[in-house]
Amino acid sequence: MARSPQRHTDEPGLDIADSPRGTGPGRKRERLIRHLTVAVLSITLTWIFWSTRPNWVPEMRLWKAVGDASFVLLVASLTLGPLARLVPAVRPWMRWRRQLGIWFALTSSVHGVLVLNGWAEWSLRRFLGYEFVPQLGREARMEPGFGLANLIGIVALILALILAATSSDRALRRLGRPAWTWLHRLSQTILILALLHGGYFLFIHFTASFHKVPPGADWFRIPFLATGLGVVALQGMAFARTVRPGSGAAN
């Protein structure tokens, strides 16, 4: 007789559906408390990143702080699923994944708007890395990877907003669990895009080859790389546990 899959630990995405019993005022209050808690966490993370880069230009300092805070929320959301499979004691924390995913999308949106307004000035050409060069008398693409990195970030943001918009029990019921689960597997794509987007700006863009004086090395480079690759490794370990004979994934 086949064993039923473990709910709450098999969902792949940024969200996790609450129990069908969770429709009363008490459960709604719990959700609100989780949203407020993650909102405070988002603000705290932004403040930490802001306060640790005092020498940066204020505008860049702000959008970087918000962007890095959103990455931490993404990592936290994607860590809970595989960690709960490996450590059963973590399973009660799975209920926080929905709020972490939604606030990741919200903070990513703020990061995107700050970049579009402050750097690109709502110009597509500036967003793609073109600037007017007085010596040439025309626009030129100063940093070839800049526009591509920004496009990668926009695609990740669009996917994140799609997942946030469907992070509800109503969306789960309307789409059906198979379609909803397939959709939320896009979270893995978001992680890869976020690593490419953030990795470019942390390791490539602000270097000695930059046509302006680059700021000092960002302290978040190694933690960014370690946490991103750590999530991938954790997911691999959880997958190995799933397919290992006797794990109960299939019988």
Tell me the per-residue pLDDT of 1-25, one tens digit each, with 9 for 90 and over. 333 334 444 444 555 444 344 456 7
* Between residues 132 and 191, the one the model is more confident about: 191
> Model confidence at 158, in pLDDT bands (50, 70, 90)?
very high
Query: What digits encode the pLDDT tens for the residues 193-222?
Result: 999 999 999 988 876 656 566 667 789 999
* Between residues 14 and 132, the one the model is more confident about: 132
Buried b (16+ CB within 10 A) or exposed e, 190-223: bbebbbebbbbbbeebbeeeeeeeeeeebebeee
- Number of Cβ within 10 Å of residue 40's Cβ equals 10
**Residue in 183, 185, 205, 196 with CA at minimum distance from that of residue 228:** 196
Res. 179: pLDDT tops 90: yes
Is position 168 within any domain? yes
The structural domain count of the chain equals: 1
Is position 251 within any domain? no
Instruction: Find the range with the poorest average confidence among 8-17, 167-176, 226-235.
Output: 8-17
Q: DSSP code of 212?
A: S
> One-letter amino acid identity for 35?
H
Average per-residue pLDDT for the chain = 84
Is position 179 within any domain? yes
In angstroms, the Cα distances linking 186 to 51, 110, 177 are 33, 21, 15
CB of 227 closer than 8 Å to CB of 202: no
Is position 136 within any domain? no
**Residue in 188, 173, 223 with CA at minimum distance from that of residue 203:** 223
* Between residues 143 and 71, the one the model is more confident about: 71
Is position 35 within any domain? yes
Sorted by sequence, the CB contacts under 8 Å of residue 16 that are 6+ apart come out as 8, 81, 94, 95, 97, 98
**Per-residue confidence (pLDDT) for residue 212, from 0 to 100:** 63
* Between residues 140 and 245, the one the model is more confident about: 140
Range of the domain at 232: 25-131+141-243
* Between residues 133 and 37, the one the model is more confident about: 37
pTM of structure: 0.85
| Share above pLDDT 90 across residues of the chain, in percent, rounded to a whole number | 59
